[in-house]
Amino acid sequence: RLRPDPGRAAAVRRAHIMATNAADLHARLWPRLGLISCWADGNAAPYAAQVAARFPQAALQPKGLIATEGFISLPLPGRDGAVPALTSHFLEFQPADAPDVTPRLLHQLDAGARYNVVITTGGGLYRYRLGDTVHVVGKEGELPLLRFVGRADAVVDWFGEKLHEDEVRRAVDDALERAGVAPAFFMAACAPQLAPPRYLLYLESSADDARLRAVAATVDDALCANFHYAYCRRLGQLGPLAVYRVAGDGRRVYVDACVARGRRAGDVKPALLSPHGDWLTHFTGALLD
């Protein structure tokens, strides 16, 4: 049972009265907080940036790649990426764009390339395809620095478009940066019930409609570099991607919908590309057509 702490209660009350914004409040509440360790790569990246902005007194350290099957990489202070845990397991790396070639070892990885992780553990797991993709972002000594990208099998395919979450992420990140839009929440998903069906970018932002429409056009153009998506667009099986401006707390709606599908709230992870086509029944807002 927690004991009352009147002194701390008074300090919290003063902090709430004196703080000018969320970052100031957190600095007053936890002035000695020096480090926040959290998921910060892949789909967690935009939300990690929001955490960092709210805790300016602390450094934010990504966790690297940690899976149930094994510890793959660990962060180093001040480095962009994480070093492989080479003494923990035997690691192999399948080129993400060439799944049939011989896997590579750590010293054979190319800077800028993406690989799917294969792990062999001392516990008996042998050449297990982890299903995670990493990006080689640099080197630390003779070791590659790795950044988690996402799931290798994160592909959505309603009409033959074969969209991978990673290509959608890159297209959206580029479009948002160009438009100067920093949404509180965003996620793409197909809306097959529309005529014609199309992908929607569910986006929670205060940016004006014109900028959000520009984001949609930029993303759609980028996705057309994918032959399968472009073919579906030419056939009219898919209409152009559009933004759906989310009203309210998009993250809360997303988590609640995942829980309704049977997930535990603590197991819900951010998704940039959802395979589900019923999000129009969950979010409220407006389609910017």
The predicted-structure confidence for 172-195, as pLDDT tens digits, reads as follows 999 999 999 999 999 999 999 999
Dump pLDDT digits (tens) for 213-232: 999 999 999 999 999 999 99
- What CA–CA distance (Å, rounded) separates 29 from 12? 6
Average pLDDT over residues 35-43: 90
Is pLDDT of 5 > 90?
A: yes
Conformation bin of residue 21: beta by default, left when phi > 0, alpha when psi is -120 to 50: beta
pLDDT of residue 31: 94
Token pair of 280, please?
A: 């129009």
Average pLDDT over residues 223-244: 96
What is the model's pLDDT at position 157?
96
pLDDT of 93 reads: 96
Confidence band for 46, pLDDT divided at 50, 70 and 90: confident
Percentage of the chain exceeding pLDDT 90 = 81
Strand order in the sheet with 242-246: 273-274, 185-191, 198-204, 242-246, 285-288
- Per-residue pLDDT averaged across 59-69, rounded? 91
Q: Which residues contact 250 (CB under 8 A, 6 or more apart)?
A: 184, 185, 186, 187, 202, 203, 204, 283
Q: Tell me how far apart the alpha carbons of residues 131 and 87 are, in angstroms, rounded to a whole number.
A: 21
Rounded CA separation 95/108 (Å): 11
As a whole number of Å, the CA-based R_g of the chain is: 21
- Residue 200's pLDDT is 98
* 20-49 average pLDDT score: 92
Interval 3-25 mean pLDDT: 94
- Output the pLDDT for position 98: 87
Q: What is the pTM of this model?
A: 0.76
Mean pLDDT calculated for residue range 75-97: 91
Q: To the nearest whole number, what is the mean pLDDT of the chain?
A: 93
CA distance 51 to 57: 11
Q: Quote the pLDDT of residue 107.
A: 94
- The Cα-based distances of 3 to 6, 8, 9, 12 in angstroms read 10, 11, 12, 16
Give the model's confidence band at 100: pLDDT under 50 very low, under 70 low, under 90 confident, else very high: confident
What pLDDT shows up at residue 20? 94
Q: At 155, is the pLDDT very low, low, confident or very high (cuts 50, 70, 90)?
A: very high
Please count the residues of the chain.
289
